[in-house]
Structure 1
Amino acid sequence: MHFNQHRSLSFLSRHQMAPMLSALALGVVLSGCASQNPPASSTYSNDDLNEQLVMATAWMQSAGEYRALSFQAFNVARLRLDQALKAQKTGDRPLAVIVDCDEAVIDNTAFQAWLIGRDERYSSANWNAWVEEAQARALPGAQAFLQYAHSRGVEVFYVTNRDESGLDATMKNLKQLDFPWVDEQHMMLRTNASDKQPRREAVMATHDVALLVGDNLADFDSRYDADDVATRNAQVIQDRAQFGERYIVLPNPTYGGWEAALYGGDFSLSPQEKDQRRRAALRVWGGPEQTAP
């Protein structure tokens, strides 16, 4: 969350306050019917909305392509870290890597899968119960990369928007996965503010940060913390040289700042309204009847 599981209360709502889906899920599940919204229904529930999680969650849990992208991200991260180590000179500040936790180095898709078939949405109670179980798995390639950084003396800081109340459970989970640098100094969870920038800057004040690893654009810079699609996409274009260089992005089609942008940051929308906003964001083919012979 990274955009990881809390943003103070506003981050909470924008991050995971509701079930999420991906462009992949939309393209497969909703293609052919996206040119108009379905009629309003008082019976449309979170259970209905959660069905849109099926394709994205199945992809993350079973697709070789997802694993390949994760390995690719950490392979590139290792190359960039080697470059930073080679460029380091005597007297330089120590090197560090900043990583988000959720869907950046650990996999919480079991929580997303739990939502499917239930009239449930993301809530603090549901999420905290999952965190306390300490059952998140390592993303493919994450443990090897983090241990490599440790072997080269590069410190790893976990800047996550999990609530500080989940510190012990999160540390337990990461230690079970044999992640390095899991201590109170290197675990930087959310306290009062969801904005990660002050925590990133605290690390940058004492270390040279070689890389930032995350699944949400706000894991790299708070300028991405915007409530509209156009602003986020324009910022990506502006920062395009950073991706694969200093910013390492992991794929997460189930939730994130991209979804919040579809709603204008308003997660208080009803399940039906969220469905309509998702459909309205689709670019739709006109169909064979509109194709010239």
Structure 2
Amino acid sequence: MVSKYLFTVSVLFAIASAHGQEFHRDYTNAVLWQQQSGEYRALCFQAYNYAHSSLDKALKKYSKLPKCVIVDIDETLLDNSPQSGQAILSKKAFDLAEWKRWTGMAIADTVPGACSFLQYAASKKVAVFYISNRDQSEIPATMQNLKQFGFPYVDTDHLLFRDSTSNKQSRRNQVAKTHHIVMLVGDNLSDFSTIFYQEDKDTKKVVDQHAGKFGTTFIMLPNPMYGDWEQSLYPKGNLTEAEKATIRLKKIKGY
């Protein structure tokens, strides 16, 4: 049965290639789950409830530097599932120009619980730094999108977007020079530290080693649509969406 399915997929890929078409990502359920399920909202509220209680504990501890929290933006504060949904409906792979067209519209909804938590942090004089791998050119529209919901500290001093590298560590180090970082919030392990994605280490084992930080120092939001974790599935090099889909299917574990 499996071999027959693999053969069918291979034939479909060959037909698509023959017509010069690119396979769009096979993540319909992931996008629908984020857009339609109560479970997604519940997990977001749960994450920010943990953030709230953990911040209260951190506020009781003395620090020489003023306190701050660092937050990612995409799928942490802003919900980009409509952009992923449009890619599925249009049968297109991810395209940076299309992504920037979406962010330029400044119409992304908020992730449940995000704004109220950051407003609470600001009310306690805890600064907020937005470290994102959005491009520098996306700052104005992103500020517009965040401001319409009342997110605090939305200014050029507190938005640290991608410069020469997508590695966020240098930007975290920059914040640490002037503030005591009490919490990091994101949907991707690289939003917290570079320790999680190293070629010679098993990411899941590294997570296990730092289990006590999740829900306290590290607040993780659900994102079923994309993430750095997926890159570990593929060999280095430029792969088509069809090639990636074949690799993903082979990586599935059954019984």
What's the TM-score, normalizing by structure 1?
0.80
Tell me if structure 2 keeps the 8 A contact 1:164–1:189. Answer: yes
Partner of 2:109: 137
**In the alignment, structure 1 residue 81 sits paired with structure 2 residue 55:** yes
In 1, distance between residues paired with 2:28 and 2:152? Answer: 33
Name which structure has the greater RCO, CA cutoff 8 Å, separation 6+: 1
The verdict on how the C-alpha distance between 1:49 and 1:120 changes in structure 2, with shifts beyond 3 A counting, is: closer
Partner of 2:242: 272
The verdict on how the C-alpha distance between 1:117 and 1:33 changes in structure 2, with shifts beyond 3 A counting, is: farther
Deviations 1:149-171 (Å, cap 9, x if unpaired)? 01000000000000001110110
The verdict on how the C-alpha distance between 1:35 and 1:70 changes in structure 2, with shifts beyond 3 A counting, is: farther
Please tell me the residue identity of whatever aligns with 1:55: N
Once the two structures are TM-superposed, the CA of residue 226 in structure 1 deviates from its matched residue by: 4.0
Once the two structures are TM-superposed, the CA of residue 223 in structure 1 deviates from its matched residue by: 2.3
Please tell me the residue identity of whatever aligns with 1:157: F
In 2, distance between residues paired with 1:138 and 1:57? Answer: 16
Partner of 2:6: 37
Aligned length: 249
Residue 184 of structure 1 aligns to a residue whose secondary structure is: coil
Residue 87 of structure 1 aligns to a residue whose secondary structure is: coil
Runs of 5+ consecutive residues of structure 2 not aligned to the other structure: none
**In the alignment, structure 1 residue 153 sits paired with structure 2 residue 122:** no
Structure 2 matches for 1:249-288, cutoff 5 A? 249-264=220-235, 266=237, 268-285=238-255
What's the TM-score, normalizing by structure 2?
0.91
Structure 2 matches for 1:47-196, cutoff 5 A? 48-50=23-25, 52-88=26-62, 92-196=64-168
Please tell me the residue identity of whatever aligns with 1:250: L
Please tell me the residue identity of whatever aligns with 1:180: P
Tell me if structure 2 keeps the 8 A contact 1:56–1:253. Answer: yes
Once the two structures are TM-superposed, the CA of residue 263 in structure 1 deviates from its matched residue by: 1.4
Runs of 5+ consecutive residues of structure 1 not aligned to the other structure: 1-31, 286-293
Q: Percent identity?
A: 41
* Superposition RMSD in Å: 2.0
